[in-house]
Amino acid sequence: DSGVTQTPKHLITATGQRVTLRCSPRSGDLSVYWYQQSLDQGLQFLIQYYNGEERAKGNILERFSAQQFPDLHSELNLSSLELGDSALYFCASSSRQSATNEKLFFGSGTQLSVL
Amino acid sequence: AQTVTQSQPEMSVQEAETVTLSCTYDTSESDYYLFWYKQPPSRQMILVIRQEAYKQQNATENRFSVNFQKAAKSFSLKISDSQLGDAAMYFCASKPQGAQKLVFGQGTRLTINP
């Protein structure tokens, strides 16, 4: 167990809908990262937050947004969902701003299916 | 931009044997870090081993070791004494120093034959 908790584990929804994925980092970790894993795109970095502030942005669509709350948990909001958004969404955490010298701890992911 | 390529979609090995997974990368950065992650059927991403590019010595973690060839931009993973629990998808990843994101390869599915 990595200590990173993601809920829900599975999510099935319809096109055009909006969903929220939740992530609780390891106790004491200040950085939260979101990654998307799909069959065609592989693993892609979406966005990183550090202590409540956005620190880096990757291939995140405008329909997607995220935030990190004062208690350090993070939410990834996906709106106007399309079939192609179906993927496994990972959250990861680390204690430093950069994952260079610290292990990046991944959660078990949220499997999103858009029908 | 950094790219990571894993040319072996699937590999298989007999239990207790040794297997090597290949990875090549491309980067214009002088300082960067390389990683191997394991994703078992549970889906969780688990860090297997990491290598700092400025270090010439190859990293080793128990049965896992890497062959880091900086000039060739090659970073292969060797698994010795393969065990059934090693069966998983293995992802090679890179990260420039100072950058936040990991860039992953497409993965290699490793099967262990008993």
Whether pLDDT at B94 is above 80: yes
Contact B73/A at CB under 8 A = no
Q: Express each pLDDT in B47-70 by its tens digit.
A: 999 999 988 899 999 999 999 999
Q: Which residue has the higher pLDDT, B31 or B86?
A: B86
Write down the pLDDT at residue A45.
Answer: 93
Contact between B43 and A109 using a beta-carbon 8 Å cutoff = yes
- Cis status of the peptide bond prior to A70, with omega within 30 of 0: no
Residues B12-34, mean pLDDT to the nearest whole number: 94
Write down the pLDDT at residue A99.
Answer: 54
Write down the pLDDT at residue A101.
Answer: 56
Q: Express each pLDDT in A2-55 by its tens digit.
A: 899 999 999 999 999 999 999 999 998 999 999 999 988 899 999 999 999 999
Write down the pLDDT at residue A98.
Answer: 58
Paired sense of beta strands A19-24 and A5-7, if any: antiparallel
Contact between A106 and B46 using a beta-carbon 8 Å cutoff = yes
For the stretch B52-62, what's the b/e string if a residue is b when 16 or more beta carbons lie within 10 angstroms of its beta carbon? Answer: bbeeeeebeee
Helix (H, G, I), strand (E, B) or coil at B95: strand
Mutate to test the interface with B, among A34, A104, A112 (most CBs of B within 10 A): A104
Collect all residues of chain B within an 8 Å Cβ-Cβ radius of residue A55: 100
Q: Express each pLDDT in A57-98 by its tens digit.
A: 998 999 999 999 999 999 999 999 999 999 999 999 987 665
Interface of A with B in 31-70 (CB under 8 A): 33, 35, 42-45, 48, 55-56, 58
Give percent of chain B with pLDDT exceeding 70.
100
Write down the pLDDT at residue B96.
Answer: 82
Write down the pLDDT at residue A2.
Answer: 83
Whether pLDDT at B8 is above 60: yes
CA dihedral (A24, A21, A74, B101) positive or negative: positive
Distance separating alpha carbons of residues A6 and A94, to the nearest angstrom: 15
Give the confidence band of A102 by pLDDT, cuts at 50, 70, 90. low
Whether pLDDT at B37 is above 90: yes
- Name the E strands within chain B: 3-5, 10-14, 19-21, 24-26, 32-39, 46-52, 60-61, 64-69, 74-79, 88-96, 103-104, 108-113
Distance separating alpha carbons of residues B60 and A96, to the nearest angstrom: 24
Residues B28-44, mean pLDDT to the nearest whole number: 90
User: CA of A99: which chain B residue's CA is closest?
Assistant: B100
Write down the pLDDT at residue A43.
Answer: 93
Contact B56/A at CB under 8 A = no
CA distance B82 to chain A (A): 23
Write down the pLDDT at residue A13.
Answer: 97
